[in-house]
Structure 1
Amino acid sequence: MGRKVKALVLGDAMIRVEGFAKAVARHLGPFVSETIQGEWESNWSELQRRRLEVEKQGPEIETLDPLVAQRGAEAEMLMGLFVPVSTKYMDAMPNLHVVGVSRAGVENVNIAEATKRGILVFNVEGRNAEAVSDFAVGMMLCEARNIARAHYSIKSGQWRKTFSNSDFVPEFKDRTIGLVGFGYIGRLVARKLSGFNVNILVHDPFVPAEDIKALGATPVDKEQLFKESDFISVHARLTEDTKKYIGKKELSVMKKTAYFINTARAGLVDQDALAQVLQNNQIAGAALDVFTNEPIDQDSPFLSLDNVTLTTHIAGTTADALNNSPGLLMEDIARLMNGQKARFIKNPQVLDDPNFQAWLREVTA
């Protein structure tokens, strides 16, 4: 066994540091001499605000965590959930070789800078895929069948039976579901909908048509998907290229009886265009779990609409998804350390970096 290293882990209000520390001990114990522990942001509301700003603007907007400033130079690994791994962090951690975030998105990591410095970055693909895919299907049913509105009417002392879509409340059977994005979550949605006897259209230019057809779905272009679908569910990643990927052009060709579901990222959709088609009853309704600002702005037009279901960005938040993700992360890092092929490396070119190779030999020999 090679030289042991120190790891620095920063938890937050969503996954406390104890969860990360236990996962380090379980999976990386043979390689780690000490786990330096801290909380990046322990207040739930403040965490939501900060992580959303980082997702919109990148990790460089954040200041350096005091624990990193104090002890960062000792650590060769840094792990957490929403910790903003910026150039400030890398400057304060000159011996850093491995960064891991226990989430699919890596908006909180400056991957370009990490790659330049020979720092290997891990994430966890699919950690909340089951949770989000469950929720997306639930949101389709909730909006189309007026579940939340009926619940609210009873709680308000009413017995409401008439809704904006009362003339065309649908069943799933024989409907067409359009999925924008066909990664792990999109594929799970397709599998879970298969029992409803629906037709599934998929638009994802990065997925081979054969892979889409293999799951019983039909690959189509974006225009066809928006024209023909009865339900459209968004499961794409937000990048510079996909900002406002869905805008007025796409929304305007949807059926008047169609529903729009977004459990991915608000930035994928032109929010003004979506609000307008809902206000004008150009589509039947929408169900949204993500917003440009969270909590949602109190002057948001969505708050005054009767044909939209709103939730508080909870699609991926289940006990299973959160509790299991640190273990998935550390387990994958351990694969690398044990000479096996890791699954979740975001910048694999670092594996060919001579300095990184020398470090890996030193700590695993």
Structure 2
Amino acid sequence: MRRVTLGSGHASTAEASPTARWSFVATGPSSSIMKILVTANLSSAALSRLEDDYGFDVEYVPIGDRESRLPESEFIDHLEGVEILIVGYEGVSENVLTQAEDLEIIACARGGPDANVDIAAATERGIPVLYAPGRNAVSVADFTWGLILAAGRQIARAHHLLHTGTYTGDPISDAAGGGEREDVTWGVAKDSPFANLKGPELTGKTVGIVGMGAIGQAVAARAQGFGVDLLGYDPYIDADEMADHDVTKGDLDELLEKSDVVTVHAPVTDSTRGLFGTEEFAAMKDSAFFINTARGALIDQDALVKALQNDELQGAALDVYDKEPLPDDHPLLDLDRVVTTPHLAGAANEVVDRHSKMIVDDIDALLNGREPTHVADKSVVDDFGLTADN
């Protein structure tokens, strides 16, 4: 059993002295200072807690200061003597875990730690993997509605056409009524932006939300002001819980048939990979819009392109793709009714602050003998002995 020991005179409770020095040891007390490697972006407040409040020896090499992930060999070098790893995007493979002999806790600053951490290998070694589900739910939900509006009302396309000269020209003075008040000088006639870039209002439409976890629920909350009806599909969320968010639960076929907008917020699992393909897009209304801010692996991207090219959908807005970055000759970039953004939905300023607090709170809980709120495999915590020498 692993033990956490405090230096002499400190208690093992949440009220322990902020100058306490923690250290993991296999047996017996130790006075060494715990070493932490942080490769994720972390807030200054969280770093201060780790360094100043707890006195940890912190090496901070955030992804935001680098051009790419650390190469595995360099990553392993950084992990020498490290007991706690706070990781963002570096791959924590079985090989990395084998080399990181002193590692005791992994904290992944992401909602899905299995994307870059070998959870099974960590569990086998008795290493808990903390993570931050819902860290970007607010950010993604906000962005989703931005995409819905941008695609439906052709905001992004209008911006592009204006900036590339299609709708620029010499200003026109048009006081059609004979007075001083000028009319719409861009015009409303054939081939005007007003005529070419119309789109549907949202009020009275049906929005289908696929995946009713933290992000799906946040999307539903933001829907209320638009006067839309909400349908939800999620096999793990019951009808009563969906009703709490003013969402009517249905199966996927019903949702696709009835929705004017389908927005995807499901995780990638064996059952959801390729969830949307030719049949699913064919089941949607020809006037519908498809929105994906979740993961590219959830859809057959070629099938979506064909559906859009064949006018089987009115439009789409995508923030994620089966391959990233998108090649500059990708057919999605040639489609006028498609809004494309480069994986930005979770890129709000507040996300780093949120995941930083979540992770450090859970590290604090674990080191103080409390169960962390978010851990990938709770069985590891059950076997994770925590005591303190006073």
Change (3 A) 1:93 1:101: same
Paired residues for 1:81-160 under 5 Å: 81-106=88-113, 107-159=115-167
Match of 2:387 among 358, 361, 364: 361
**2 CA distance for matches of 1:21 and 1:87?**
31
Q: TM-score, normalised by structure 1?
A: 0.86
**2 CA distance for matches of 1:179 and 1:154?**
32
Q: Aligned-pair distance for 1:177?
A: 0.3
**2 CA distance for matches of 1:143 and 1:280?**
18
Change (3 A) 1:41 1:110: farther
Match of 1:35 among 28, 46, 58: 58
**2 CA distance for matches of 1:266 and 1:230?**
21
Counterpart of 1:361 in structure 2: which amino acid? T
Question: Residue by residue, what CA displacement relative to the aligned partner does 1:167-221 show, whole Å, maximum 9, x if unpaired?
Answer: xx21111110000000000000001001211110000001122111121111111
**1 CA distance for matches of 2:292 and 2:63?**
29
1:55 aligned partner: none
Change (3 A) 1:73 1:314: same
Paired residues for 1:166-205 under 5 Å: 166=198, 169-205=199-235
Q: Which moved more, 1:74-83 or 1:332-341?
A: 332-341
1:161 aligned partner: 193
**1 CA distance for matches of 2:327 and 2:375?**
36
1:280 aligned partner: 310
**2 CA distance for matches of 1:298 and 1:73?**
41
Q: Aligned-pair distance for 1:262?
A: 0.4
| Unmatched tracts of structure 2, length 5 or more | 8-21, 24-33, 168-191
Counterpart of 1:229 in structure 2: which amino acid? S
**2 CA distance for matches of 1:347 and 1:196?**
40
**1 CA distance for matches of 2:85 and 2:134?**
21
> Is the contact between residue 68 and residue 93 of structure 1 (CA under 8 Å) also seen in structure 2?
yes
**1 CA distance for matches of 2:93 and 2:255?**
38
Match of 2:87 among 80, 90, 104: 80
For 2:209, what is the secondary structure of its paired residue? strand
Change (3 A) 1:163 1:179: farther
Change (3 A) 1:100 1:164: farther
**2 CA distance for matches of 1:41 and 1:185?**
24
Change (3 A) 1:68 1:154: same
Change (3 A) 1:23 1:287: same
> Is the contact between residue 37 and residue 82 of structure 2 (CA under 8 Å) also seen in structure 1?
no
RMSD between superposed Cα atoms in Å: 2.3
| Unmatched tracts of structure 1, length 5 or more | 48-61
**2 CA distance for matches of 1:75 and 1:22?**
21
Counterpart of 1:96 in structure 2: which amino acid? L
2:15 aligned partner: none
Q: Aligned-pair distance for 1:82?
A: 1.0
Q: Aligned-pair distance for 1:250?
A: 0.9
Paired residues for 1:9-48 under 5 Å: 9-11=37-39, 15=41, 19=42, 23-26=46-49, 31=54, 33-39=56-62, 42-44=65-67, 46-47=68-69
Q: Which moved more, 1:316-325 or 1:94-103?
A: 316-325
Percent of aligned pairs sharing the same letter: 33
1:232 aligns with 2:262: yes
Q: How many correspondences in the alignment?
A: 337
Counterpart of 1:34 in structure 2: which amino acid? D
Counterpart of 2:373 in structure 1: which amino acid? R
> Is the contact between residue 10 and residue 40 of structure 1 (CA under 8 Å) also seen in structure 2?
no
Rg larger for: 2
> Is the contact between residue 164 and residue 306 of structure 1 (CA under 8 Å) also seen in structure 2?
no
> Is the contact between residue 21 and residue 37 of structure 1 (CA under 8 Å) also seen in structure 2?
no
Question: Residue by residue, what CA displacement relative to the aligned partner does 1:219-268 show, whole Å, maximum 9, x if unpaired?
Answer: 11111111110000000011233210111111101001100000110100
1:271 aligns with 2:297: no
**2 CA distance for matches of 1:171 and 1:328?**
38
For 1:79, what is the secondary structure of its paired residue? strand
For 1:36, what is the secondary structure of its paired residue? strand
> Is the contact between residue 204 and residue 227 of structure 2 (CA under 8 Å) also seen in structure 1?
yes
Q: Aligned-pair distance for 1:68?
A: 3.1
> Is the contact between residue 158 and residue 197 of structure 2 (CA under 8 Å) also seen in structure 1?
no
Q: Aligned-pair distance for 1:126?
A: 1.3
Question: Residue by residue, what CA displacement relative to the aligned partner does 1:322-346 show, whole Å, maximum 9, x if unpaired?
Answer: 2442232112221222333422111
Counterpart of 2:154 in structure 1: which amino acid? N
2:175 aligned partner: none
Q: Aligned-pair distance for 1:22?
A: 5.2
Q: Aligned-pair distance for 1:31?
A: 4.9
* Structure with the bigger percentage of helix: 1
Counterpart of 1:75 in structure 2: which amino acid? V
**2 CA distance for matches of 1:204 and 1:72?**
39
Counterpart of 2:112 in structure 1: which amino acid? G
